[in-house]
Structure 1
């Protein structure tokens, strides 16, 4: 390019050391790019640039490729995170937050505008507010409704959702927080949380403040009647301010006294709890020191293991005997009842003896001396009790089988069969295979249910009539029964 002569009288003429154009806005920020632009344009100074009105032939500057990667963790030219920054929390839809879905429904549109971290903070704040509202509303179930109504009221005060420019701070500091207009903790913008009506305390506070203002104004007119309007307003405001400060100090003193009383109550409660804990420990120690009620052994907490085993075995044998009596004997005939009970008792004790003998034989086969094993007594007692319980379960099944054949059970079975057969979805084919199968199952269920009811009724009757023989509860018999278990007798 030929250089343009200077001093030719052109209107665009300028001195080589000066520039007629204003400095660029980006001058001084990226000198490297400016130098590159000069090199590409083919000029080394302002005087060698194009004249006014001419179009420069500078190609586009590849700034994005030469710009270094920023500290935000975004790789140059890719738009992806570099992987070195902290992972973002995933955003969730409001329907995925089951416990807050109904509560935050009024602000669902704002929820969708939050980031994952902001949603987590709002969830925490909402749950904490729900816990606090549970102790303020009448019913704990009304807490979600109260919080949802508060959000709706805050939205109406803000002029609608579209007027909320910053959802996160609005939700955290305005939408979810309670704003009591008086000293009542149940007040929220002049509305009682428990009754959802206007707060009476707020009305009293406003009335008292207005009355006090009128009283101060009347007092000021009596003391200084010649004041101008501006001076009167200034003096009245100063007196109101002083009264407000005094009221705040009195309120702080009341709160301090209340805190002292609360601390005193908490101290008394802690002392009472410690005393009750000591008394409970003393009662437990006294209970553990009680002798056995059956054998008199000391420090057995009222019942030793041996006597406990004896009582449990006696209860199992008695229950099995009553199950057998319920279908095989007349409960009004004591001799028949005694015979059945003795037979059941002998059979169960035989099962217990056989089970313990099995254990002893197994230990002998393994070369373990029963007399040298301190745990054999406890293991044998538990094994014998398990055998007795298994035998008692078999007696119960036998009793249910016989009671299922009674006339009452058969009648209930026929009624259930007919009722199932007459159902609307079986009425078109009452003798079909599906109908017969369903009716048979219903009859069997009715028969089993009737047998259970009959057994429960008869066992209750036997317990109330106390028709058991004296042998069932005499200590001599129980001691003899426990001798079948080594170490079981006292």
Structure 2
């Protein structure tokens, strides 16, 4: 196409560009807007292949306006172009129907007029084919009208749904705070949101402390320990917030700081619970099994690799142990048949003579 374009003067190029814009506008109503340039380029390539190449096009301007850029539907379907569906790129089913209708009409006419001359039968076939084409165009127009009506209905439904969503979003934004009643807070103001998050973190921290320290078989003792842990946790939270914000800090700033401090307390208790779980029988057994499995490889760094495998196995087991095991965990002494890695705090038994 570059050589063909170079054969046009500036005025012809301007006319060709306007014609290409019109062709793209037509295609944008059939295919996706982004795919329209690709479809038009494919059409030009096909037409050049039919002509035998750019060198055989004697009149580039006439060829572009009369053949290259023009859609050539072979059936009443507006998406058809040379028996190809523009939106799918596959064979046009309407063109296939026309071929089948033509064969059917020809066979019917030959059956009804077996003794007529070929010219009469051909004329009758053409007449009936014209009638069928007119009927097919009417049916296609009905289908297009129905499709346009359905598209309009879908667009109206989308507009109604968007209007309802906008109204719901506006109502949600104007809703007062559910806790303090502050207007236009989308149901929850920032201060109350921070307060709720703080309460959630405090409950998690209390649950972690109780699960580690309480006897789960004693309900009364567990309830009393829960109350005590909650009181201590809230006192710890209040003191930490006063140190972070000051005693005369703005309430909004204090509310913003509280969940961060509560999260630190929760994370510290979770880490403590994990260290306690590392001393459970399950974690120790898994660490022992991993240590012995790696040690059997008898490589030059088998002991270092076995230590690392034991640490990883112990931590994995501790992370997946249920909370009910925490009350039964007892940290072993560092002497005797036990050993601890200072870097990770993972405990395991020393069964083999080489482990110190």
**TM-score, normalised on structure 2?**
0.60
What residue number does 2:313 align with? 446
Cα deviation 1:169-223 (Å, max 9, x = unaligned):
9xxxxxxxxx99999x9xxx9xxxxxxxxx999998766544422332344457x
Question: Cα gap change, 1:337/1:354 in structure 2, threshold over 3 Å: closer, same or farther?
Answer: same
Higher helix fraction (1 or 2): 2
What residue number does 1:316 align with? 201
What residue number does 1:480 align with? none
Tell me by how many angstroms 1:413 deviates. 0.8
What residue number does 1:399 align with? 273
What residue number does 2:323 align with? 458
Tell me by how many angstroms 1:243 deviates. 2.2
What residue number does 1:281 align with? 166
Q: Does 1:411 align with 2:300?
A: no
What residue number does 1:255 align with? 140
Q: Distance in 1 between matches of 2:190 and 2:203?
A: 20
Q: Distance in 1 between matches of 2:196 and 2:316?
A: 31
Q: Distance in 2 between matches of 1:440 and 1:407?
A: 18
Q: Does 1:271 align with 2:163?
A: no
Tell me by how many angstroms 1:264 deviates. 0.5
Tell me by how many angstroms 1:414 deviates. 0.7
Would the aligned equivalents of 2:211 and 2:323 in 1 still touch at CA under 8 Å? yes
Would the aligned equivalents of 1:409 and 1:451 in 2 still touch at CA under 8 Å? yes
Would the aligned equivalents of 2:277 and 2:283 in 1 still touch at CA under 8 Å? yes
Question: Cα gap change, 1:341/1:407 in structure 2, threshold over 3 Å: closer, same or farther?
Answer: farther
Q: Distance in 2 between matches of 1:390 and 1:347?
A: 11
Q: Distance in 1 between matches of 2:205 and 2:182?
A: 30
Matched positions, count: 258
Would the aligned equivalents of 1:294 and 1:303 in 2 still touch at CA under 8 Å? yes
Instruction: Provide the secondary structure at the position in 2 that maps to 1:245.
Output: helix
5 Å matches for 1:210-359? 210-220=103-113, 232-331=117-216, 332=219, 333-357=222-246
Q: Distance in 2 between matches of 1:355 and 1:329?
A: 31
Question: Cα gap change, 1:237/1:400 in structure 2, threshold over 3 Å: closer, same or farther?
Answer: same
Tell me by how many angstroms 1:377 deviates. 4.0
Q: Distance in 2 between matches of 1:267 and 1:213?
A: 41
5 Å matches for 1:150-165? none
Question: Cα gap change, 1:218/1:401 in structure 2, threshold over 3 Å: closer, same or farther?
Answer: closer
Question: Whose radius of gyration is greater, 1 or 2?
Answer: 1
Cα deviation 1:378-436 (Å, max 9, x = unaligned):
333323332222222222111111111222211111111122223xxx2xx26x4x111
Question: Cα gap change, 1:390/1:285 in structure 2, threshold over 3 Å: closer, same or farther?
Answer: same
Question: Cα gap change, 1:208/1:265 in structure 2, threshold over 3 Å: closer, same or farther?
Answer: closer
More divergent stretch after superposition (296-305 vs 262-271): 296-305
Unaligned runs of 5+ in 2: 1-5, 7-36, 43-51, 57-72, 84-91, 328-356
Question: Cα gap change, 1:256/1:296 in structure 2, threshold over 3 Å: closer, same or farther?
Answer: same
Tell me by how many angstroms 1:349 deviates. 2.1
Question: Cα gap change, 1:296/1:460 in structure 2, threshold over 3 Å: closer, same or farther?
Answer: farther
Cα deviation 1:267-320 (Å, max 9, x = unaligned):
111111111111112222222333332233443322222322211111111111
Q: Does 1:388 align with 2:248?
A: no
